[in-house]
C-alpha cells in the first residue's frame, strides 16, 4: 500500500475496482486543520473525470501500468492485432478498448499501449496522422452554403469535413484527438 505522498501526475490508482489516472494533484496545508491532497482523476476505461480529496497520509492503491511501443498490424474480426516492437510478441486488443482510434489506424503505424497485468487499457496515438482521401465530391467554386467544407472519406473509412479545394487522392493531416482536418501533407 502506498500513501498520498506517492501521488504524482500520470500515476494510476485502483479505486473500488476501477482504474483512475491522476491528471492533476495539489498538496494543501491549511492554517487550521490537517493537510490534505486534492486530485483530479480520469477513469482509464470510460474517460470520466472526477475530483477527489484525500487526507494526508491516507493509504491508496497504486497500480502498475506499463506503457510500451507497438506496431499496428491488422484488424481481426472484432479485435485489432498489434506487435510489441521490443520482443515481437503479438497481442489482440478488443474493439471497445481501441475505441475511436480505429478511425486513424494504418498498417505498420507506431502506437503506445498502456498495459495493466498484461491487459490493454487504452491506446495513445500520435497527435496527428497523414491519411489519403479516397472519396469526395468535387468542390464547386461559389458554393459556400456549407461554410467552405464538404464531406470526405479517408483510407481508414472515416468520414470527415474538409475544405472545398481538397480532391480525391490528396494526402491530408488529421488531428487524432478531435478528428479535424489540419492541412494538406506537403
Blockwise average pLDDT, block size 10, the chain, 186 residues: 86 89 91 92 86 92 90 91 92 88 91 88 88 86 66 92 88 91 87
**Which pLDDT does position 4 carry in this prediction?**
87
CA dist., res. 89 & res. 66, Å (int):
15
Helices within the chain (DSSP H only) = 95-98
Q: Are 41 and 20 in contact (CB under 8 A)?
A: yes
Contact 129, 106 (CB under 8 A): yes
pLDDT of residue 142: 61
Q: Are 97 and 80 contacting, i.e. CB atoms less than 8 angstroms apart? A: no
The closest of 29, 50, 23, 27 to 37, measured between CA atoms, is 27
Residue 175 C-alpha cell reads as 488531428
For residue 140, give the DSSP letter: P
For 104, residues 6+ apart whose C-beta sits below 8 A from its C-beta are: 125, 129, 131, 156, 158, 174, 176, 179
Q: Cα(171)–Cα(156) distance, rounded to whole angstroms?
A: 13
Q: What is the pLDDT of residue 164?
A: 84
Partnered with residue 12 across adjacent β-strands are: 21, 63
CA distance 171 to 155: 10
The answer, as to whether pTM is greater than 0.85, is no
Q: Specify the pLDDT at position 26.
A: 93
Q: Which pLDDT belongs to residue 145?
A: 55
State how far the Cα of 16 lies from the Cα of 175, in Å rounded to an integer: 34
Amino acid at each position: 500500500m502506498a500513501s498520498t505522498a506517492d501521488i504524482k501526475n500520470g500515476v494510476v490508482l485502483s479505486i473500488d475496482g476501477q482504474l483512475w489516472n491522476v491528471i492533476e494533484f495539489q498538496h494543501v496545508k491549511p492554517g487550521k486543520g490537517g493537510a490534505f491532497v486534492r486530485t483530479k482523476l480520469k477513469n482509464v476505461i470510460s474517460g470520466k473525470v472526477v475530483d477527489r480529496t484525500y487526507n494526508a497520509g491516507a493509504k491508496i492503491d497504486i497500480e502498475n501500468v506499463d506503457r510500451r511501443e507497438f506496431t499496428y498490424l491488422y484488424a481481426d474480426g472484432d479485435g485489432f492485432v498489434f506487435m510489441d516492437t521490443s520482443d515481437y510478441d503479438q497481442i489482440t486488443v478488443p474493439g471497445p478498448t481501441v475505441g475511436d482510434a480505429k478511425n486513424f489506424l494504418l498498417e505498420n503505424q507506431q502506437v503506445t499501449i498502456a498495459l495493466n497485468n498484461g491487459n490493454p487499457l487504452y491506446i495513445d496515438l500520435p497527435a496527428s496522422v497523414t491519411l489519403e482521401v479516397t472519396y469526395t465530391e468535387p468542390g464547386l467554386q461559389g458554393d459556400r452554403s456549407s461554410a467552405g467544407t464538404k464531406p470526405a472519406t479517408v483510407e481508414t473509412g472515416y468520414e470527415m469535413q474538409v475544405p472545398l479545394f481538397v480532391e480525391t487522392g490528396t494526402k491530408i493531416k488529421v488531428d487524432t484527438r478531435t478528428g479535424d482536418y489540419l492541412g494538406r501533407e506537403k
